[in-house]
Structure 1
């Protein structure tokens, strides 16, 4: 149980408003740190991460204990208690992935729509606070009880003041777990680098990599489900599919958002068009970020080819750049936004981009504490996806 003295030092977790994909909701711990429920296999990966891969993964910052607390109004708050960490992963409660993520939710029988509205208000406020440029935001996100990501005509709402996917994850867990929370029970969360904290308006593309998505520990039913998803999407034909996206539209001052359901329906040509859309700010193609992204992906490809026995099943790859172009800024950007790549004859030569691998709950490698099967050689499915991704981006750069 959590004592009063520990509670006073607890950190209030907030929704991470820049989550564009995945089914596990991310929480904001502080400006430069996010957290997620701990999975032993993912912890094992971070603890034995090869040096060459560190520049392509979020920095691992440790483990923190998290608990739920109810206030006098019946609302639940998710709190992290740094002083209550468990020692040794052997004693970690791996059920933490089940009961979590209730940020200021009412435990009473409030209607689903009302809960969504209250959460959207908080997400919008948090999103505004997270953007140093204080961009003009749309706050007229429609609330649909059938699907948070569709309007009344079953069309996806693309223009949002904050990415709706995080809200979608929260609502799913609210419906499933509202009657199962255990106040003050400790759950273990991973602390990871917030890889978009340095960006004014982070444009993020979440790509599910590889031709296989199920882990070695998947049940036959889950295995069959994931195989079918791959066969019916670009995972099979290209080794990569869109899992989520947000791209800043400079002409309108909002983000255009897409989710994993959109990505599953794409053909190879639709995938190419989506990549081009990700690189367009509403006015023009961001050619200034294209070459730096390709260079980063080529560097990652070189590293992956050397990682024998690693299989990155169900992992994702984030491609990130700043929606605020250097030439549009009225004030100097901080040193984090000054790019390390330079494009010849390009007026926006200070482009800052990033490429990061995430989500390693089903990653396996020789020597893993949670290893199920030992493989030889590199992950050829992942390599296949990276090579196709690079090829498509090169074609876009060449105007093909």
Structure 2
């Protein structure tokens, strides 16, 4: 029997702090994001070992999302969560939320309409205006308009086609399943986010030979080979400019080892001071993750990423410095190609994922070097 749904659908909005990834993510409320459902990733969340859950977003279930295009060409996404949703999150009300809509231009590019807080302004660093998605200062991370364009274009086309049918009043709008995950940025006023592609192998066991070769080349020509980690996206709040400066995965692919270290320094640079007070907490959290991963035998996290998040507001100077009072979050995300023995895949792996662990250890080492030089 299908789970009962709420009587009223909830309007989804673009998730403005998305710094990387291939698919658009949306906000269901202030503490929950929606991501297109991939069966393997759903199974991974449902079977995740208890000790790993502290290093992943909280999984909150599955919803159905309908896509409807209005007369102005904007795509409206309506979600139908279960009735238990309001009991879990009674304080979240649509009336208090900003309304943002997505529209496809005739050229195939996307635009987002909506009000925003004046402080939430984003700018992509060193972006040429002739690059796809170049938009200057915008009320969302510029990567939001680059990812998932083909999926949204297809769904919008389906919605428009349905609306033009003679029996459109009876037909059901196009829909897609989404998984609900914790919004890791919700507790931060100015969330600074670093997305790191982890591991020395970036292809899945069932990828085609051609795709495996492309992934191998990407690893060999980036810091994924030398460090087991590369930058996949980043946003940093600049207190002197009152806006976020953003970097994308193409920037990360160009970096050598020294450049990777400098990028980490940029991630903790708020425009007026280098936040070395964050480094101890980052290193401690990463060390805990490494210890947990070393106990996960048969697990492989192919194509998974690591998020490092902190609040970009000015640090307080009226209390003694202590890494214990600094709130730094480190979480693993993107499990669409993860595997372990319970998946019953044709290819079985033994021992922990040394490629991912190597990336974590490299990250710890670089952060310790930064701390020694600037702390």
Give the TM-score range, shorter chain: 0.7 to 0.9
Mapping of 1:355-394 within 5 angstroms?
A: 355-368=330-343, 371-394=345-368
1:224 matched to 2:224: no
C-alpha distance in 2, partners of 1:262/1:348? 30
Query: Structure 2 matches for 1:253-272, cutoff 5 A?
Result: 253-272=242-261
Q: Match for residue 227 of structure 2?
A: 238
Deviations 1:252-307 (A, max 9, x none): 11111000000011101110110111011111110111100100000000000000
The corresponding residue for 2:40 is 41
Corresponding residue for 2:94? none
Deviations for 1:95-117, whole angstroms, at most 9, x for unmatched residues? xxxxxxx95425xxx4439x64x
Alpha-carbon shift at residue 83 of structure 1 (Å):
4.4
| Contact map agreement 1:326 1:351 (CA 8 A) in 2 | no
Residue in 2 that maps onto 1:163: 141
Provide TM-score, normalisation by structure 2: 0.83
CA distance in 1, matches of 2:138, 2:317: 22
> When the two structures are superposed, what TM-score results if normalisation uses the length of structure 1?
0.78
Q: Distance in 2 between matches of 1:391 and 1:139?
A: 30
Q: Deviations over 1:351-382 (max 9, x none)?
A: 2110000000000001126x342110000000
2:325 corresponds, among 346, 350, 356, to: 350
Aligned mates of 1:104, 1:164 — CA distance in 2: 14
CA distance, structure 2, for counterparts of residue 209 and residue 399 of structure 1: 25
Structure 2 CA distance, aligned partners of 1:54 and 1:140? 32
Residues 140/264 of structure 1: CA separation in 2 closer, same or farther (3 Å cut): closer
Q: Is 1:310–2:299 an aligned residue pair?
A: yes
In the alignment, the residues of structure 1 paired with residue 128 and residue 64 of structure 2 have an alpha-carbon distance, to the nearest angstrom, of: 33
2: distance between equivalents of 1:347 and 1:57? 25
Deviates most, 170-179 or 285-294: 170-179
Match of 1:395 in 2: 369
Greater strand percent: which structure?
2
What is the CA–CA distance in structure 2 between the aligned matches of 1:138 and 1:211, rounded to whole Å? Answer: 31
Q: Is the 8 A contact 1:326 1:350 kept in 2?
A: no
> How big is the alpha-carbon RMSD for the aligned residues of Structure 1 and Structure 2?
3.0
- Counting only pairs closer than 5 Å after superposition, residues 168-179 of structure 1 correspond to structure 2 as 168-169=146-147, 171-175=149-153, 178-179=156-157
**In structure 2, do the counterparts of structure 1 residues 269 and 298 end up closer, same or farther at CA, with 3 Å as the change threshold?**
same
DSSP 3-state at the match of 1:212: coil
**What stretches of structure 2 of length at least 5 have no aligned partner?**
85-99, 163-171
Unaligned 5+ residue runs, structure 1? 86-101, 129-133, 152-156, 330-341
Q: Is 1:135 the counterpart of 2:109 in the alignment?
A: no
Matches within 5 A, 1:1-400: 9-83=8-82, 103-105=101-103, 110-112=105-107, 116=110, 118-119=111-112, 121-122=113-114, 125-126=115-116, 128=117, 135=119, 137=121, 144=129, 146-149=131-134, 161-169=139-147, 171-175=149-153, 178-181=156-159, 184-327=173-316, 346=321, 350-368=325-343, 371-399=345-373
Q: Which SS does the other structure have where 2:306 is aligned?
A: strand
Which secondary structure state, in structure 2, belongs to the residue aligned with residue 246 of structure 1?
strand
The 3-state SS of whatever aligns with 1:284 is: coil
Please tell me whether the aligned partners of residues 160 and 257 of structure 1 are also in contact (alpha carbons under 8 angstroms): no
Matched residue SS, 2:316:
helix
